[in-house]
Structure 1
Amino acid sequence: MKGPMKKLILPVLASAAALAMATGVAQAQQKKTIALVTNVPADFWTIAGRGLEKAQKEHPDYKIELIVTNEGTAAGQRRELDDLLVRGVAGISISVDDAPHATEQLNKVAAKTVLITTDSDAPQSNRLAYIGTDNVAAGRQAGEEIKKALPNGGKIALFVGTMDADNARERVQGIKESIAGTKVELVDVFTDQVDFAKAKANMENVLVKYPDIALMSGLWSYETPLIYDAVKASGRAGKVKIVGFDEDQRTLRGISDGTIESTVVQQPYEFGYLSATNIIKTLNGDKSWIPADKKLIVPTKVISKTNVAEFAASLKDLLKK
């Protein structure tokens, strides 16, 4: 957080260079700040940050930041939002961790700055719009991959950080809709509160408790690699199928070596870019970008063995910058 602006005292006969420097400093201090607040640290958000960088190049008169939260809790996000409000930022995009318990705080933010949600929505709040995935549709897409992996049916387990997040609930809903009326049986949805040790324990416990488990699916980016590790450690690679979400490097390696069937990927680069540029449009009085239902949907796609090499190469380019 910046301290108060120091008084700048120049001699009356200041040089042109000194005046230019003083003007530049003043302009830098007057730049409006836009921030994207994440729910967890992940490559997913690094890619979103690349989208912010593109927006930054196009709009050098703004300061655009990526705020990575480490806890994945409503309380952690509340602290980040309070800090941003104290700093007087002009616009915030946030992946909401716990919409029901965050609504009051989000409304406080929306009253003071331009607020949009991305990746995980809070539709009951006064956010201007949501930019991201139709998570029910993405869940259905994952459900289709699960059915494809288990043509004769079987028991499946789902893993996610918290069911308090809209994107988690909606993905589970989509999967349930897709497998309804089939021989695919969901034994349970296991949550870990973004605690990697707990997530790993959940997966190991499922492999012991359900010796006939046919497929495991991680619905947040960090979980599929942990499932990959747990299945390999149990000596059941290839026997227990895996379907994932998002584009973690280990998930892609697992698809390449045949341990993971497929993963449903979003477009976080677009989440970042569209968040920043549409906040700037709004600050300039243009709200024409907001759809009637206040949801700007960015489509998802399936990555499997047929297209993983090409996708991984494009991702590597994004992450190395």
Structure 2
Amino acid sequence: MTRQKFRTALAAGAVLAAMGLSNANAKTYTIALVPGIATDPFYITMQRGAAAEAKKLGVHLIWQGGASFSPETQIPILQALLAKHPDALVIAPTNKKALINPIKQYVSAHIPVISVDTTISDHGLLKSRITSNNTQGGAAAAKAIATFAHERGDVAVINVKPGISTTDARQKGFLAQMKHYPNMKVVAIEYDNDSPTKAFTEAQLLLLKYSHLKGIFGTNVFSAQGAGKAVDSSGKKGRVNVVGYDAEPGEVKLLKQGVVTTLIVQQPALEGKLGVKYAYDILSGHAGSVPKSKLLDNITAITKNANDPDISKYFYKSELAH
């Protein structure tokens, strides 16, 4: 071997050795994903998108959530996770005010926080906010009901409870759009506390009280399911239009039966994917590429296109990725 070849080989060996040392010491990032509720197909679908992206990027994903959508359930989970000091937190806050202080603790610990689906009112604590365009979705629901009713008659809203950023925005978008129909009136806004049973009872009372009711907007899965079943059991299917949000298995069944005529479908898998990707970008020195806010388009599904593969691919799953 000539002296020049020896030097070249030695240099190449040094580079390979350095690469091997770098790979050996490379950090595997741990990203915690805390859903609003762990058992909901919306968040399960979000986990599937996040898990696929984590696998692609070589990230360790922690998925941990409660059995109810409430700050009282979510905050202890956050406190327990903080002790493990993940590299980043992706969270669907269950209340836009109550989750501010727990998230501040992560920020104080230099853990970047990204919100998905829901958010908090103090946006300055967040590196990014990823959600559906909920105001637009509420407006789309109003347009669907108005079209069904030929822009005449009474309508009602069944919401979850005040203080949830997403459903607040859906209601706001719905009410704003309804102002475009002078011959229509929003006669009631009820809250079901995320209970399909309560939504069913509230819808029954609305149907009894308002004989000219033409539509009910259910702002989330349980609101829509309860309202749809009440309309069906009252014999008013086809006369009172139920428009819902999301596309969980129970809702999709009602959609195909025509009990619920329209669903405003979100993209939770994409939210989960982007949450992990943005967290990874921040951790790996590419924070400049991460948007402060990302609004995702909704998909409108109706009974007639519920079996179309281009629509049904957005319907939510009920099994976690492993």
- Please tell me the TM-score bracket, short chain as reference: 0.7 to 0.9
Matched, 1:141 2:137: no
Check 1:289–1:193 CA distance in 2 against 1; reply closer, same or farther (3 A cut): farther
Partner secondary structure for residue 186 of structure 1 = strand
CA contact (8 A) 1:107 1:127 kept: no
CA contact (8 A) 2:41 2:317 kept: no
CA contact (8 A) 2:265 2:314 kept: no
Matched, 1:227 2:227: yes
Q: Following TM superposition, by how much is the alpha carbon of 1:313 offset from its aligned partner in structure 2, in angstroms?
A: 4.5
Task: Give identity over the alignment, percent.
Answer: 19
CA contact (8 A) 1:42 1:221 kept: no
- In the other structure, the counterpart of 1:4 is none
4+ long deviations beyond 6 Å? none
TM-score (norm 2): 0.83
CA contact (8 A) 1:264 1:303 kept: yes
In 1, distance between residues paired with 2:78 and 2:259? 40
Q: Following TM superposition, by how much is the alpha carbon of 1:149 offset from its aligned partner in structure 2, in angstroms?
A: 1.6
Check 1:34–1:248 CA distance in 2 against 1; reply closer, same or farther (3 A cut): same
In structure 2, what residue type is equivalent to 1:199?
A: A
Q: Following TM superposition, by how much is the alpha carbon of 1:116 offset from its aligned partner in structure 2, in angstroms?
A: 0.8
- In the other structure, the counterpart of 1:18 is none
- In the other structure, the counterpart of 2:98 is 101
- In the other structure, the counterpart of 1:186 is 186
Moved more, 274-283 or 221-230: 221-230
- In the other structure, the counterpart of 2:131 is 132
Matched, 1:210 2:207: no
Q: Following TM superposition, by how much is the alpha carbon of 1:316 offset from its aligned partner in structure 2, in angstroms?
A: 6.8
CA contact (8 A) 2:29 2:87 kept: yes
Q: Deviations over 1:50-104 (max 9, x none)?
A: 10121122123x2213323222112222112111101211211112221122222
> 1:18-167 to 2 correspondence within 5 Å?
31-40=28-37, 41-60=39-58, 62-112=59-109, 113-125=111-123, 126-167=125-166
CA contact (8 A) 2:229 2:259 kept: no
Matched, 1:238 2:238: yes
In structure 2, what residue type is equivalent to 1:103?
A: I
Check 1:43–1:32 CA distance in 2 against 1; reply closer, same or farther (3 A cut): same
Instruction: Say what the alpha-carbon RMSD is for the aligned residues.
Output: 2.4
How many residues get paired? Answer: 292
Q: Following TM superposition, by how much is the alpha carbon of 1:131 offset from its aligned partner in structure 2, in angstroms?
A: 0.8
In 2, distance between residues paired with 1:261 and 1:268? 21
- In the other structure, the counterpart of 1:307 is 305
Q: Following TM superposition, by how much is the alpha carbon of 1:262 offset from its aligned partner in structure 2, in angstroms?
A: 0.9
Structure with the greater alpha carbon radius of gyration: 2
Q: Following TM superposition, by how much is the alpha carbon of 1:217 offset from its aligned partner in structure 2, in angstroms?
A: 1.5
Q: Following TM superposition, by how much is the alpha carbon of 1:319 offset from its aligned partner in structure 2, in angstroms?
A: 5.1
TM-score (norm 1): 0.83
CA contact (8 A) 1:225 1:248 kept: no
Q: Deviations over 1:187-242 (max 9, x none)?
A: 22221222333333222322233333221111112321222222112222212111
In 1, distance between residues paired with 2:51 and 2:98? 31
Moved more, 188-197 or 89-98: 188-197
Q: Following TM superposition, by how much is the alpha carbon of 1:302 offset from its aligned partner in structure 2, in angstroms?
A: 0.7
Moved more, 138-147 or 64-73: 64-73
Partner secondary structure for residue 287 of structure 2 = coil
> 1:243-262 to 2 correspondence within 5 Å?
243-262=243-262
In structure 2, what residue type is equivalent to 1:43?
A: P
In 2, distance between residues paired with 1:315 and 1:189? 29
- In the other structure, the counterpart of 1:17 is none
CA contact (8 A) 2:41 2:316 kept: no
Partner secondary structure for residue 222 of structure 1 = helix
- In the other structure, the counterpart of 1:175 is 174
